[in-house]
Amino acid sequence: MLPEPHRRFLDVSQAAWTSDSRLLGVAAGGSLMTGRMDAFSDLDLVLVCRDDARAAVMQDRLAIARRAGALLQGFTGEHVGEPRLLICLYGPPLLHVDLKFVSLAELGSRIEDPVVLWERAGALTERLAQDAATPLPPPDPQWLEDRFWVWIHYGADKVRRGELFECLDMLGYLRAQVLAPLAGLAAGRDTRGVRRVERDLAHVLPALAQTVARPEAGDCGRALHAAVALYAQVRDTTGAVRRSPAEPAVRAYLDTCFQRTG
């Protein structure tokens, strides 16, 4: 069952977009595809156009988005590395909708198989059947191990210099790119960033919470120690090889920094 605002948007948008002969169909990814949608979920839609209409459709994206409802704001997704994406806010009620515009040929290159919501003459279904999706690779524990201790040293030096918000940013990066993904890997879950960790990784939440710091030198030092402790815990389940002398040196350095700042 879709939340009412989401269902209403899909109904209105289909009625509007089917009148555009350049569009061959719409598919859905994200929470709708996985069946995990709730009232706070975004809609992640893929609008597929004819190959020969790609340039015109890209030029007309905002107009196409406006036909689907009361568009409050829309902008392209260069900041996330996807210029084909149009990030939209509709309302009221407020609803976040991501519209990714691709040609039929481009639909073959994808990381997941979206759910086809509507299509003309089976065009999307036929194209999806021609090529398999290429999922994003899981985190590489060895790649992270070979970098983790340099990142911790960086955070400790930021504390010593007094650049506390730089350290806070680094801790956030470690949570999203190292600690949560590795904990998910150990638990057999595909964890991207820290999304849904409250539900999917409840067993590490207390340790993960300890890596959140206040903008105070002593608390940043405490959080760095917590990040090291959680990393060592999850690393030992991944098979990463400890092949660098950096770990003992950085651990000792962190102890010194924490004593000085705490």
pLDDT at 196: 82
For tokens 């990142």, name the residue. 151
Decide: 220 and 260 in contact? Cβ < 8 Å. no
What is the separation, in whole angstroms, between the first and last Cα of the chain? 52
**E runs forming strands in the chain:** 23-28, 43-49, 71-77, 82-90, 95-103, 115-119
- All domains of the chain, ordered by start, with CATH? 4-130 (3.30.460.10), 141-261 (1.20.120.330)
The DSSP 8-state label assigned to residue 179 in this structure reads I
C-beta atoms surrounding 241 within 10 Å: 9
pLDDT digits (tens, 9 = 90+) for 203-237: 888 999 999 999 999 999 999 999 999 999 898 88
pLDDT at 238: 84
pLDDT at 261: 45
- Whole-model pTM: value is 0.83
pLDDT per residue as tens, the chain (262 positions): 789 999 999 999 999 999 999 999 999 998 888 888 889 999 999 999 999 999 999 999 999 999 999 999 999 999 988 999 999 999 999 999 999 999 999 999 998 899 999 999 999 999 999 999 888 888 899 999 999 999 999 999 999 999 999 999 999 999 999 999 998 888 777 777 787 888 888 888 899 999 999 999 999 999 999 999 999 989 888 888 888 899 999 999 999 888 754 4
pLDDT at 68: 96
Q: What proportion of the chain, given as a percentage, has pLDDT over 70?
A: 99
Phi/psi at 208 (nearest 5 deg)? -65, -35
How far is 252 from 23, CA to CA, in rounded Å? Answer: 60
- Of the candidates 142, 209, 242, 131, the one whose C-alpha atom is nearest the C-alpha of residue 182 is 142
pLDDT digits (tens, 9 = 90+) for 8-46: 999 999 999 999 999 999 999 988 888 888 899 999 999
Phi/psi at 170 (nearest 5 deg)? -65, -40
How far is 164 from 76, CA to CA, in rounded Å? Answer: 32
